[in-house]
Amino acid sequence: MADRVVLAYSGGLDTSVAISWIGKETGKEVVAVAIDLGQGGEDMEVVRQRALDCGAVESVVVDAKDEFADEYCLPTVQANALYMDRYPLVSAISRPLIVKHIVKAAREYGGTIVSHGCTGKGNDQVRFEVGFGALAPDLQVIAPVRDYAWTREKAIAFASEHNLPINVTKKSPFSIDQNVWGRAVETGFLEDLWNAPTKDVYDYTEDPTLNWQAPDELIVSFEAGRPVAIDGKPVSVLEAIQELNKRAGAQGVGRLDMVEDRLVGIKSREIYEAPGAIALITAHQELEHVTLERELGRYKRRVEERWSELVYDGLWFSPLKYALDAFIQNTQERVTGDIRMAMHGGHITVNGRRSPESLYDFNLATYDEGDSFDQSNAKGFVQIHGLSSKVAAKRDLGL
């Protein structure tokens, strides 16, 4: 059983071909490990059997949906993580979880080598291999698609030549990665930046320009930064994401069309659908505006940007990421309350906020009778606050 190759198996063309290729080129047995992250669209038992039919000696499917939601999606919500202020890290947060289970399988099934199906142009090769290095530096890595310059045409030809049970043709236009947190689509005609996405690009969301439904208003409740109820009904984190995927997706919320800066130094056009992710992050951000002290909130927004960059760049298991995790977790102690928001036509409008931990003081904020703010203090404050700028202006103007 020793010296096996443990492959991160998606069930798609490249990793299916990799099973047969690795066996023929290296003479080693391949264990295929597929991770169920709530991607939907295909029976995971079919995926498991496909790996065996392609030559794997063992094929394992790990149900990690709740683990993904609790340990990867939830920290992303609490960090309000949006790479380049837009992308909620749909693929990036799934890779460290996959790495964790591939390493676990390598120990269990006698693997000394791990493998993935990533190309040399993308971010995922980094996320996988840096993750392997952090969790199991003793394991070797094989990356056949990257290291042997596979093209889609070569992979299809190999599958045909060796009678591999893969239903794919040269006409398939897109590369798709999806899980419960969202869906990422690239390649094909989308590589021309002037081409608009066609309706077949999307699956998780309805077209917001053709949405004749009434607005959907709902209340998301949080306790210590964790979503715990929707419209008063208790939910797990996974259930919150699934419910908001359905309701926000029906309103066309969460569509992104962006040119993103990849870690390898190239720009890439990406289409994302993340209705539940965008809805949860929007609600969480708004509750933090109510419950976080001003300077803490300002600093956390700087931390959020760096956290997003680290995760995007494949450094989930890095010392800095761990340190920022501790800071973010500390900020969540009082992020408790309810956010009411209306979703319609691809947009979210927050229209209600309440929290037992609110820092909003009505008597300080009101301009009506009952105002407790002592305005006589403001004149001196303004003068002192602007003093350094005033002194510099006098110098610069020669006064």
DSSP assignment of 81-112: --BTTTB--TTTTHHHHHHHHHHHHHHHHTEE
Active-site hit among 4, 94, 124, 353: 124
The reply to whether 14 sits in an annotated binding site is yes
The reply to whether 305 sits in an annotated binding site is no
The reply to whether 336 sits in an annotated binding site is no
Active site residue 262: no
Please give the single-letter amino acid code of residue 260: E
The reply to whether 175 sits in an annotated binding site is yes
Active site residue 396: no
- Helical spans, DSSP H, in 225-332: 237-250, 275-291, 294-312, 319-331
The reply to whether 117 sits in an annotated binding site is yes
Terminal Cα distance for the chain, rounded? 85
Instruction: Give the Cα separation of 255 and 274 in Å (integer).
Output: 7
The reply to whether 11 sits in an annotated binding site is yes
CB 281 within 8 A of CB 307: no
Strands 4-8 and 30-36: parallel
The reply to whether 87 sits in an annotated binding site is yes
Q: Which residues contact 32 (CB under 8 A, 6 or more apart)?
A: 7, 9, 15, 19, 48, 51, 52, 54, 56, 58, 59, 60
Instruction: Give the Cα separation of 103 and 139 in Å (integer).
Output: 9
Active site residue 14: yes
- Phi, psi angles (nearest 5°) of residue 270: -130, 140
The reply to whether 370 sits in an annotated binding site is no
The reply to whether 10 sits in an annotated binding site is yes
The reply to whether 127 sits in an annotated binding site is yes
Active site residue 146: no
The reply to whether 351 sits in an annotated binding site is no
**Cα Rg of the chain, angstroms:** 25
The reply to whether 13 sits in an annotated binding site is yes
Active-site hit among 48, 95, 183, 226: 95
The reply to whether 123 sits in an annotated binding site is yes
Active-site hit among 70, 86, 146, 175: 175
Active-site hit among 4, 14, 226, 353: 14
The reply to whether 172 sits in an annotated binding site is no
Annotated binding site for L-citrulline: 87, 123, 127, 175, 260, 272
Annotated binding site: 8-16, 87, 117, 119, 123-124, 127, 175, 260, 272
- Residues annotated as catalytic (active site), given as ranges: 14, 95, 124, 175
Annotated binding site for L-aspartate: 119, 123-124
Annotated binding site for ATP: 8-16, 117
